[in-house]
Structure 1
Amino acid sequence: MRQALRLGVNVDHVATIRNARGGELPDPVRAAHLAIAAGADGITAHLREDRRHIRDTDMARLAAQLTRPLNFEMAATEEMVTLACRLRPHAACLVPEKREERTTEGGLDVVGQAQALEAPIARLAAAGCRVSLFIEPDAAPIRMAARLGAPVIELHTGTWCHAVAAGDGDEAHRQFARLAEGARLAIAEGLEVHAGHGLDFDTARDLARVTEFAEFNIGHFLIGEAVFVGLEAAIATMRRAMDEGRAAG
């Protein structure tokens, strides 16, 4: 029996729009409630060190109000770990973060930073957070994630999505195989496997065929699509695309 494929909706860029003008609108917490009503299984929000979109008050309100799991994306810094341990979200996903980047550019270097990640992972787990590591779909980081004791990994899908968008069929095929092989290895290592970054309706439908994936986290595309069709319609279409892909898996 195929496992159900969950959809986590990232509300960061509702806050990006708010912050571009100042004030309190549009409210990312309202967007989170709408996303859940439209069929999202959880909400993701990334509190960056420079607070370029989500703010501390947003995270506190999300943690207090949501009726579905909150996935707190964060750098593995003392400040963020302390805040997550206080708010106790359902999940804490550790991601790489560079101040100058527009968006997350790749997976966390869990091999090179293994020693530095041990304490944050242990502290978050002790606070009741389900720790996830955002990594590349390669054997070394997947095996290291398992050794570090994180129960979940999220595979970076950006390289594959960029190849698809560029019309580079050979590279897209290679990157899809890399993701599928990574997901299979992760299952063998006892990990739950999520995916995210750059997914749209078509790529989500295609990747959903890989039945090892349990969850997709999608944000920028859905918020952009919502400008034209509304958030609930965008999420409903994404949910349908994922379900079609999983059924064909």
Structure 2
Amino acid sequence: MIRLSVNINKIATLRNARGGNTPNVVEAAKRLESFGAQGITVHPRPDERHIRYTDVRELTKVLTTEFNIEGNPNPKFIDLVLETKPAQVTLVPDAVDVLTSNAGWDTVEHKEFLKTVIAKFKAHGIRTSIFVDPDVAMVQGAAEVGTDRIELYTEAYAQGFTQNKEQAVKPYVECAEEAKRLGLGINAGHDLSLDNIKYFAEKIPFLDEVSIGHALISEALYDGLEPVVKAYLKKLS
């Protein structure tokens, strides 16, 4: 079964909009696990505009499923990951001023940097994943830097799904097949939703995990967290 990791950044955004601690990020994560989520994802940014570094430390104490920390590996981020030792770290090349992640790594241009960072994490037993565009050359580059997995950036798939889903998913299938050939695990995330996840899961061979946040939390505003998590699990099974 493809694992569902829920990104809880949007819960932290709602909390921060008012101040205080409502909704409680840690409690939300615990409930998501109890509803069947097989992992929790966070993406702390340098300005801590949603997930805070203190959230990461608190979550580490209570989570019982896989913890995935995403982010651009600046020194502060690297120190946080090495301190908290999640099951997985996902490297994302987002600039400080971006609203949300909007591109994958150029694994060829940044080969030496990625090799150095990944070696640090793997030395501490942390599984590594690299956020990449659906480009076979970037998948090949990822294999050369020693990562365990790639995470396919799925915004293009989500945008193309309603017009031509077969064409939209094609480059992702090609990348997944190449990743498998190279011995890489395959994750995916960004703009996946209840509308498009089932087709993606059916078409992408060897998919290990999806990370879903914005759509899942938005859908839960209408239907509730537990029914939405269970709906995703059903579509992924």
- Return the TM-score normalized by structure 2: 0.96
SS in 2 for 1:201: coil
d(CA) in 2 for partners of 1:192, 1:131? 10
User: What amino acid is aligned across from residue 83 of structure 1 in structure 2?
Assistant: L
Give how far 1:54 is off: 0.2
- Residue in 1 aligned with 2:16? 19
- Residue in 1 aligned with 2:171? 178
- Residue in 2 aligned with 1:147? 144
SS in 1 for 2:173: helix
d(CA) in 1 for partners of 2:119, 2:149? 14
User: What amino acid is aligned across from residue 191 of structure 1 in structure 2?
Assistant: L
User: What amino acid is aligned across from residue 168 of structure 1 in structure 2?
Assistant: Q
d(CA) in 2 for partners of 1:211, 1:143? 17
Contact 1:95 1:107 in 2 (8 A): yes
Contact 2:173 2:205 in 1 (8 A): no
Contact 2:10 2:214 in 1 (8 A): yes
SS in 1 for 2:41: strand
Aligned with residue 187 of structure 2, among 170, 191, 194: 194
Contact 2:177 2:205 in 1 (8 A): no
Contact 1:13 1:219 in 2 (8 A): yes
Q: Aligned pair count?
A: 236
d(CA) in 1 for partners of 2:96, 2:147? 25
Deviations 1:66-95 (A, max 9, x none): 001100101111111111011111110000
Aligned with residue 120 of structure 1, among 117, 120, 123: 117
d(CA) in 1 for partners of 2:106, 2:75? 18
- Residue in 1 aligned with 2:200? 207
Contact 1:106 1:158 in 2 (8 A): no
- Residue in 1 aligned with 2:232? 238
Give how far 1:62 is off: 1.1
SS in 2 for 1:168: helix
Contact 1:76 1:117 in 2 (8 A): no
SS in 1 for 2:14: helix
- Residue in 2 aligned with 1:218? 212
d(CA) in 2 for partners of 1:201, 1:211? 19
User: What amino acid is aligned across from residue 211 of structure 2 in structure 1?
Assistant: N
Contact 2:131 2:152 in 1 (8 A): yes
d(CA) in 2 for partners of 1:29, 1:224? 18
Give how far 1:239 is off: 0.9
Deviations 1:137-188 (A, max 9, x none): 2111111111111011110111110122xx432xx43230000110011000
5 Å-filtered alignment, 1:39-54, equals 39-54=36-51
Aligned with residue 2 of structure 2, among 5, 10, 27: 5
Give how far 1:60 is off: 0.3
d(CA) in 2 for partners of 1:213, 1:157? 13
SS in 1 for 2:54: helix
| Consecutive aligned runs of 4 or more in structure 1 exceeding 2 Å deviation | 172-175
Deviates more, 1:97-106 or 1:5-14: 97-106
User: What amino acid is aligned across from residue 144 of structure 1 in structure 2?
Assistant: G
Deviations 1:191-233 (A, max 9, x none): 0001110001121100111231111111111111111111111
d(CA) in 2 for partners of 1:106, 1:174? 20
Q: CA RMSD in A?
A: 1.1
- Residue in 1 aligned with 2:153? 156
Identity %: 36
SS in 2 for 1:195: strand
Contact 2:72 2:92 in 1 (8 A): yes
- Residue in 1 aligned with 2:163? 168
d(CA) in 2 for partners of 1:141, 1:28? 34
